């Protein structure tokens, strides 16, 4: 069906998931255009490759070439409102309209599909596995939910025989996938605006697992209790890690499987959670008949993912930029910082993401943020949501059990942190907080 369309129009083209699809169709010599409300580095890169992008929701901005209903496929992200003028126009005019997840399902349906799911860890795991596949010259296309440091891209291509995708649980998007190999990294409660309970979320993951093809295989983190091939730190797992240690920038560990040991793995991301992501990428690589030495060599040359415990500055202060936006993710960032820098004072700068998530996990956010030496909150990043009465960063601040806390405007962060005596700054959030990192860094250096 996709081959019937020469023009692909994206509503929300700058999103991390949407943009990888846009790059994919540009590479397939399709005509690509779209709307996004934010002019970003990603949209600039798409424009440089030939995509026509505008930033005002206005049907007059749709390029005339995309007004042909029979030759234009429209793709949208769930973040796009049903009241979006362009969305309503395309719907009223009878265009073929697909959700991003539906399009991914169509792209992967007749290919060997690897789907990496989980409430946390799927982007890093997908990026590691993509590097292993590329490094070992497999024919594959990978749609990643982050920017790989090795390739400076969220689309990694070396052919088309294997399709590697992130299986996104938001809006039950991953139910459009029917993988040959599936992985679930975690099933912590999240997206409770979509799922009314953690039980309902878990049911959704079971549905994802039930979609695995008949001869397919599941890899799951031991803590998910989902079955399949288990991995973790426990020796009860089929794949497990032993002798873990970390320096400032790397992890070292052994991989154990069926009584054999692959010793002295070097992996260039700190944190036990990242070691587990590398472990399951190793296991999937083996399933694809890549030999152990080749996989371990690839692990040693993986450079990480932007905004996944990324070092923006290492001296005279340490600045770490991270996508963490859920209490469980903040906890692993905190644990990693304390493990690496036990004697250095730290400051957490956190931009809450979504009013619903802040509401649903208010006490959990407060509990983990209280552990940092100093805490700075910025205002909630609303993304697709309208404000909720009584839910604010100030309300969250009240619950944080630490006297060294404040709420600041993003524009005040740079000056404030320059005067701070903290040695480690951890900047966290899934919104636009990362836009401040370079300014903070430059202000500290100058």
| pLDDT confidence of residue 278 | 98
What residues of the chain score a pLDDT lower than 70?
Answer: 189-196
| Helix or strand (DSSP H, E) at 68 | none
CATH code of the region 109-301:
3.40.1190.10
| pLDDT confidence of residue 80 | 86
Four-way CATH pick for 310-445: 3.90.190.20, 1.10.8.60, 3.90.1150.10, 3.40.50.1110: 3.90.190.20
By three-state DSSP, how is residue 243 classified?
A: strand
The answer to whether 242 touches 275, Cβ cutoff 8 Å, is no
Question: What are residue 239's DSSP bridge partners?
Answer: 231, 257
Lookup: tokens for 1: 């069906």
Answer whether 2-100 and 109-301 agree in fold.
Answer: no
| pLDDT confidence of residue 416 | 87
Q: What span, in angstroms and rounded, lies between the C-alpha atoms of 224 and 70?
A: 45
Q: What span, in angstroms and rounded, lies between the C-alpha atoms of 209 and 322?
A: 29
**DSSP per position, 367-423:** HHHTTSSEEEE---B-TT----TT-SHHHHHHH---SSEEE--HHHHHHHHHT---S
The CA-atom distances, in angstroms, between 71 and each of 53, 247, 299 are: 18, 54, 43
Summarised one tens digit per residue, pLDDT across range 12-68 is 999 999 999 999 999 999 999 999 988 988 999 999 999 999 999 999 999 999 999
Q: What span, in angstroms and rounded, lies between the C-alpha atoms of 214 and 147?
A: 32
The answer to whether 148 touches 217, Cβ cutoff 8 Å, is no
Q: What span, in angstroms and rounded, lies between the C-alpha atoms of 293 and 267?
A: 14
| pLDDT confidence of residue 81 | 83
Strands ordered across the beta sheet of 96-99: 52-54, 31-35, 7-11, 72-76, 96-99
Q: Where are the beta strands (DSSP E) in 158-301?
A: 162-167, 181-184, 217-221, 229-232, 239-246, 251-257, 260-267
| pLDDT confidence of residue 281 | 98
Q: Where are the domains of the chain?
A: 2-100, 109-301, 310-445
Exposure of 52 by Cβ count < 10 A (0-12 exposed, 13-18 middle, 19+ buried)? middle
Q: What span, in angstroms and rounded, lies between the C-alpha atoms of 108 and 134?
A: 18
**DSSP per position, 117-154:** E-SSSHHHHHHHHHHHHHHTT--EEEEEEEEETTTTEE
The answer to whether 106 touches 2, Cβ cutoff 8 Å, is yes
Count of H-run helices and E-run strands, the chain: 14, 21
Q: What span, in angstroms and rounded, lies between the C-alpha atoms of 437 and 413?
A: 9
Q: Quick one: which of 143, 175, 118 has its CA closest to 15?
A: 143
User: What's the length of the chain?
Assistant: 446
CATH code of the region 2-100:
3.40.50.720
Which ranges of 51-98 does DSSP label H, i.e. alpha helix? 85-92
For residue 87, give every residue at least 6 positions away whose Cβ sits within 8 Å of its Cβ, in sequence order, or none. 11, 76, 80, 81, 97
| pLDDT confidence of residue 83 | 87
């Amino acid at each position: 069906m996709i081959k019937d369309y020469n023009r692909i129009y994206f509503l929300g083209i700058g999103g991390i998931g949407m943009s990888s699809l846009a790059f994919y169709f540009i590479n397939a010599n399709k005509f690509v255009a779209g709307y996004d409300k934010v002019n970003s580095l990603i949209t600039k890169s798409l424009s440089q490759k030939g995509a026509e992008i505008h930033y005002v929701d206005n049907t007059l901005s749709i390029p005339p070439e995309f007004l042909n209903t029979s030759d234009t496929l429209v793709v949208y992200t769930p973040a796009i409102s049903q009241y979006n003028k362009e969305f309503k126009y395309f719907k009223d005019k009878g265009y073929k309209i697909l959700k991003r997840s539906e399009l991914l399902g169509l792209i992967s349906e007749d290919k060997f599909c690897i789907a990496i799911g989980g409430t946390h860890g799927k982007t890093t795991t997908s990026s590691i596995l993509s590097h292993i596949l590329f490094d070992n010259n497999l024919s594959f296309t990978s749609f990643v939910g982050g920017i790989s440091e090795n390739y400076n891209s969220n689309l990694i291509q070396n052919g088309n025989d294997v399709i590697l995708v992130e299986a996104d649980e938001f809006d039950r998007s991953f139910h459009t996938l029917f993988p040959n190999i599936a992985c679930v990294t975690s099933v912590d409660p999240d997206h409770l605006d979509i799922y009314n309970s953690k039980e309902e979320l878990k049911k959704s993951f079971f549905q994802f697992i039930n979609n695995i093809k008949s001869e397919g295989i599941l890899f799951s983190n031991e803590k998910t209790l989902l079955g399949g091939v288990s991995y973790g730190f426990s020796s009860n797992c089929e794949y497990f890690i032993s002798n873990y240690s970390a320096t400032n920038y790397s992890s070292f560990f052994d991989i154990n499987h069926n009584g054999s040991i692959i010793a002295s793995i070097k992996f260039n991301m700190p944190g036990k959670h990242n070691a587990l992501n590398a472990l399951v990428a190793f296991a999937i690589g083996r399933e694809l008949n890549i030999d152990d030495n080749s996989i371990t060599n690839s692990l040693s040359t993986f450079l990480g993912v932007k905004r996944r415990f990324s070092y923006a500055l290492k001296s005279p202060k340490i600045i770490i930029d991270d996508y963490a936006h859920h209490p469980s993710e903040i906890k692993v960032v905190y644990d990693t910082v304390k493990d690496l820098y036990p004697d250095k004072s730290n400051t957490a700068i956190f931009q809450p993401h979504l009013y619903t998530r802040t509401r649903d996990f208010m006490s959990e956010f407060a509990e983990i943020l209280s552990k940092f030496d100093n805490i700075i909150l910025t205002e909630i990043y609303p993304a697709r949501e309208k404000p909720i009465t009584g839910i604010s960063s100030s309300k969250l601040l009240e619950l944080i059990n630490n006297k060294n806390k404040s709420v600041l405007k993003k524009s005040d962060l740079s000056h404030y942190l320059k005067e701070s005596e903290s040695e480690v700054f951890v900047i966290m959030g899934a919104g636009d907080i990362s836009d401040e990192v370079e300014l903070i860094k430059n202000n500290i250096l100058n």
